[in-house]
Copies of this chain bind each other. A is one copy, B any other.
Amino acid sequence: MHRAVSPSPPRINGMGTEFDRDIEVTANGTGEHTVELGEGWVVGGGVNGGYLLAVIGNALREAAPGKPDPISVSAYYLSASTPGPATVRSRVIRDGGSVATLAADLSQDGADRITVLATYGDLSGLPDDVRTSAVEPELPPLEQCLPTSAAPEKLKKTAPLLSRFDLRLDPAYAGWAVGQPSGNGVVQGWIRLADAREPDALSLLLMVDALPPATYDLGLPGWAPTLELTAHVRAIPAPGWLKVRHATRNVAGGMFEEDCEVWDSAGRLVAQSRQLARAPR
């Protein structure tokens, strides 16, 4: 039997949101899920890595009973994906106690594009303790930030990903847009999905790789393909806008690390990620 897996309740009168529709996976009865990668998530040389992470994350949601939420996901990117049909093969490595360890591969045209290890659990069942010493990014109010909706039409056409979000960049780290990068290696801003679909654990996997690379702010524009990305989802986000901050501290040997923090509207650090990417040449 083919069966659709819905990651969260449809938002408007039974109609799925754009994100939910585009990450919808269908079990094909052989332990695999099929998905149609949306055209809207393309940027640079292929489909956005965060979107692909959310697709895989959605396929893994039903792998372990009682453990619906991604807690840690490590993705190794093998080759660029393109819009169209893809397959997610998943398997349970260990399911016991409060977490399960899972593996998944996303393939397309017979070739693996991404291979993943993950820990899943139940975020709603975690203890309430919070002793975070990280400092929430201070962002100017929404209306003083730079909306990427104001990007040139030509850019929006070649990078349709831009239109999937309502993204407001902190102008202090957006000078690269006019050829004046700050040199700090930071990019940050307010973000939500374009149709205001509320954040959940799954959409955080998208958010950790949604912004332009922090290398833009170092005066290194260009495509920065991810080799590896590990995301930790630490809590279910509160409704509303998210703050996302990317920073890099070690650009060397033709690679750089990029750390991402996602803060929710309640001021909680809900996700952290680090990726290793190739520096633009």
Contacts and interface: CB of A to CB of B under 8 A. Distances in A.
Nearest to A126: B253
Contact of A274 (B76, B133, B255, B274): B274
Given A115-B93, A249-B134, A254 B76 contact: no
User: Which size bracket describes the interface of A in this complex?
Assistant: 35 or more
A161 interface: no
A172 to B, nearest CB: 16
A61 interface: no
State the main secondary structure of chain A at its contact with B: strand
Contact of A252 (B131, B250, B253): B131
5 contacts: A76-B118, A116-B117, A133-B249, A230-B274, A232-B257
Interface of A: 71-72, 74, 76, 78-79, 93-94, 99, 101, 103, 112, 115-119, 123, 126-134, 184-185, 218, 227-228, 230, 232, 234-235, 248-255, 257, 268-269, 272, 274, 276, 279
